Amino acid sequence: MSAGRPRGELAVPVRDGRLAVTHWPGEGVPVLALHGITANALAFADVAEALGPDVPVYAPDLRGRAGSAHLPGPYGLAAHVADVLALLHHLGHARVVLLGHSMGAFVAALAAARHPEPFPHVVLVDGGLGFPPPEGADVDALLEAVIGPAMRRLRMTFPDRDAYRAFFRSHPALAAHWSDRVRAYVDRDLVGTPPDLRSSCVLDAVRADGADVLHDPEVLAALHRPRTRATLLWAERGLQDEPQGLYDAERVAAAALDPQRVDVRRVPGVNHYSVLLTPAATTAVAAAVHRARAACASKGHAPQKT
C-alpha cells in the first residue's frame, strides 16, 4: 500500500511548549482533526486520503500524546480547546471545520459550544454525545469498563517495535484492517528504548480527559447548546468489534438532539476504530466534512492556499 498523501509536520506554540501537528496541504477551509483518548494524529491518514488532495488537514497530537506528550498539565478537555484555539490563531483562519473522533469529538463539541463563530459546524465520529454516569461512579472503573485494553496498554512495556505492532495486530477491532498507515499510526505512539518501549500517552492526561468525557456537565451539555451545529456519525459496532457500539438508535433517540442543528447518521458495518479505516466509512466521513466545509465557506470568504 502506498503511503498516501504527502504530509508535513508543524510545531505550534501553545501553553508551556509546542503542539506537534501533522499537516496534509491543500486549499480553502482547513479541517482540524482531533483524535481519540489514547490515539495520535495519524489516526486520520485514511480520512485525509478520502478527503482528496486539495483539502488542507491539520491533525495535532493532543496534549499528553505522541509528539505532544511533553506538554504538561493541567489536562482535560478545556486544555485541548485552548490548544485548538492556539492552532487556529497560528493558521490565521477565521473559521475551520473541526473533525473529532471518540474523545476528540467531545473536544470538538465543547469547542463549538464555547466558540461557535470559528467552529460553525463540527463533524463528530463515534463520540461527542455523552450520557451522565450513575451517581457515585468511580472514574477509573468507568474508564476501565469503556476502554480497558487501551488503559492497560499504557502500563505495559514491550521489548521491541515488532512486539508493539503485534499487540495492535491482535486487537479484534483492528486485526482485519492492518495496513501501512495503521502501522505508521502505531509506530508514532511508541517511545523509549528496547527492551523498555511503551506508549507515549501520559496516564494522568488520559484520566483527566476521561473524567471530563464521563461526567463534566459542560461537556455533556455541549451538543445540546443552541448554537452548536454538528454532524454525528456513529459506528454500528463497539471498541472490541462487538455488536453493541457506544451508540445505538435508542440511545441517540433518548438524547433528544435537535434535528435542525445535529444531523445524526449511522455508519453500518464498522466498529469504533474501523470507522476511520474502511473505504465506505472514510467516504461517509469525508462527505460530512465536505458538507461542513461548504457551510463554513458560505459564512465568509474562503482563505487561499494553506
Q: Is the pLDDT of residue 67 over 50?
A: yes
Spell out the residues 6+ positions from residue 134 whose beta carbon is closer than 8 angstroms to its own: none
Name which residue leads in pLDDT, 2 or 26. Answer: 26
Q: What is the pLDDT of residue 271?
A: 98
Bridge-based pairing of strands 57-60 and 17-24 is: antiparallel
Least confident interval from 8-22, 132-146, 151-165: 132-146
- Both ends of the chain: CA-CA distance in Å? 27
Q: What is the pLDDT of residue 51?
A: 98
Q: What is the pLDDT of residue 301?
A: 38
Q: How confident is the model at residue 5 (pLDDT cuts 50, 70, 90)?
A: confident
Q: Percent of the chain beyond pLDDT 70?
A: 96
Q: What is the pLDDT of residue 299?
A: 66
Per-chain mean pLDDT for the chain? 93
Q: For the segment 236-286, what is each residue's pLDDT rounded down to a tens digit?
A: 999 999 999 999 999 999 999 999 999 999 999 999 999 999 999 999 999
DSSP per-residue string spanning the chain: ----S--EEEEEEETTEEEEEEEE--SSS-EEEE--TT--GGGGHHHHHHH-TTS-EEEE--TTSGGGTT--S--SHHHHHHHHHHHHHHHT-S--EEEEETHHHHHHHHHHHH-TTT-SSEEEES-S---PPPTT--HHHHHHHHHHHHHHHTT--BSSHHHHHHHHHT-TTTGGG--HHHHHHHHHHEEEETTEEEE---HHHHHHHHHHHHH-HHHHHGGGSTT--EEEEEESS-TTS-SS-S--HHHHHHTT--TTTEEEEEETT--TTGGGTSHHHHHHHHHHHHHHHHHHHTTSPPP---
Q: Please provide the size of the chain in residues.
A: 306
Q: For the segment 48-64, what is each residue's pLDDT rounded down to a tens digit?
A: 999 999 999 999 999 99
Q: How confident is the model at residue 1 (pLDDT cuts 50, 70, 90)?
A: very low
Q: For the segment 150-171, what is each residue's pLDDT rounded down to a tens digit?
A: 788 999 999 999 999 999 999 9
User: What is the rounded CA–CA span in Å between residue 12 and residue 90?
Assistant: 7
